[in-house]
Amino acid sequence: MATVLIWAQMDLPPEHARDIIDEAKPLIEAALEEPGCEIYTWSHDPYVPGRVNVFERWTSEEELAAHFLNPAYTDMGKQLRSRGPIVAQSRKFRVDVHGPIYDENRVPSAEFFDVAS
């Protein structure tokens, strides 16, 4: 079973972005309670007005598939478009290998040493 990461970026009407996400809080919290949801975080980009970045981590493709059927997901689109159109992009990543960034001497490396799967 491989971990699944979700990255999304949405550009909401800047004058309404905070309210849209604040009102979506119950849906975000519901997603966090779903089986297999390890991280589900939304943050306002401090450099681009109205931009929201989303990061999710799911324990498996099956758990993510179940999320796509739940109101925490199905109602979110309506909430996000509640005050105008949005521009969004998103990607999913299946993680079959992961490892630490720093070695035992606290030196960062792009290599996958001491790999755990």
Q: Mean pLDDT over residues 91-108, rounded?
A: 92
Pairing of strands 3-11, 87-95: antiparallel
For residues 26 and 112, the model is more confident at 26
What's the mean pLDDT in 81-97? 90
Domain 3-95 is in which class?
alpha beta
Q: How many CB atoms lie within 10 A of CB 21?
A: 19
pLDDT of residue 99: 87
The DSSP element (H or E) to which 22 belongs, if any, is helix 17-23
Residue type, 15: E
Tens digits of residue pLDDT in 13-63 = 999 999 999 999 999 999 999 999 999 999 999 999 999 999 999 999 999
Q: Which pLDDT band holds residue 66 (cuts at 50, 70, 90)? A: very high
Sorted by where each begins, the domain ranges of the chain are 3-95
Q: Is the pLDDT of residue 116 over 60?
A: no
Structure tokens at 38: 């390890």
